Amino acid sequence: MNGEKEVKDTSLQGSFAGQRPTRERVGLVVDGTNAAAAVTTIATAEAAGVRQIWMTQSPSNPDTLTIFAASVSASAAAAAAAAKTSTIRLGTSIVPTYPRHPLALAQQALAINDIAPGRLRLGIGPSHRPIIEGVYGLPQSTPLAHLREYLQILRAALWEGKVNHQGRFFNVVATMTRTAKIPLLISTLGEKAFELAGEISDGAISWLCPISYLLQTGMPALRKASAASSGRSSEPPLVAHVLVALSQDDPLILEKGHQMLSFYAKLPFYAKMFTDAGFPITAKDGNETIVPDALVDNLIISGNESEVAVRFKELLSTGLGELMVTLVPIIDAIDEQTRLMHLIGGL
């Protein structure tokens, strides 16, 4: 296939190495419902010592990469000097591939890299059929094959500055004005996705996966595929998504956890992953799904700041590359988010 090249190890991949300080390996997920609020949150997180933030991209929210541009811009668009950041790393987890042409995404990534050199990590993924077909109205039949081809084009455009790709999903011929070796990560839920990440990506990103599933299924699949790839000398890291509740109120944590997981339990890819991880989702009365309490307990790290920090270090000692932390608000979301920022910044 034209334009397809082996993935080579680079210093960018090496920057994920487990020898880095704990603070460099724990990132915060920032809500993107309101762009101005997100820019302020990113700046506040940097001031608290957070070294990495991650943002998702849903069909209804403002564009994540535009928010990143605002967070590093010194122009009036940033609204205030406090909204400008200078060091914090910016990661997408994830940009859905189907609605956005890979060349268009490469152009956006180049713009971010121009104003924040070396700070962007681009996570991409196919999303889910109910979203891609149900919301965007686009067909989704072979998501991993589509993702493979998409990443090949994206890497050729960004890393090599030239694309000549004739494939099943895309025919792209383009020459870029410059290159930017932005790390390209992919979303991983099922075993085959972990294999694909091990073969072609600069990192795997999980979302709501039990740690036991990552250690027993995800990482072995990633390592096996990486070892079999002739273009690699080391495996890409796994960025593991974890939920945190800064509380010891177990009944309320369980309630909030069920509220958060109810949406995901309806998505087939997640339901299968939960089942494969030993937490089957059951159906009740039409479209209603039942999330087992054990799954909520497994996914949420709870306790005070010291207890959560200890758990972070335990998880990183298992071989996970990084942690990507989402707050589960319990009583006061603003206060708890501030506390979580300082917890991460003080690691």
Coil, strand or helix at 89: strand
Alpha-carbon distance values, 73 to 44, 107, 240 (Å): 15, 17, 29
Its pTM stands at 0.92
Residues lower than pLDDT 70 in the chain: 1-19, 73-84, 285-286
CB atoms within 10 A of CB 331: 12
- 79 touches 36 (CB < 8 A): yes
- Sorted by where each starts, the structural domains of the chain and their CATH numbers stand as 21-345 (3.20.20.30)
Of 96, 104, 209, give the one whose Cα is nearest residue 147: 96
User: Cα 257–311–68 angle (5° rounding)?
Assistant: 70
Q: Token digits for 303?
A: 């306790």
What integer pLDDT is reported at residue 286 of this predicted model?
63
Number of H helices, E strands in the chain: 14, 14
Name the DSSP class of 3.
T
What integer pLDDT is reported at residue 19 of this predicted model?
67
Pairing mode of beta strands 184-187, 171-175 = unpaired
Rounded distance between C-alpha atoms, residue 156 and residue 174, angstroms: 10
Rounded distance between C-alpha atoms, residue 237 and residue 312, angstroms: 16
What integer pLDDT is reported at residue 75 of this predicted model?
44
Coil, strand or helix at 160: helix
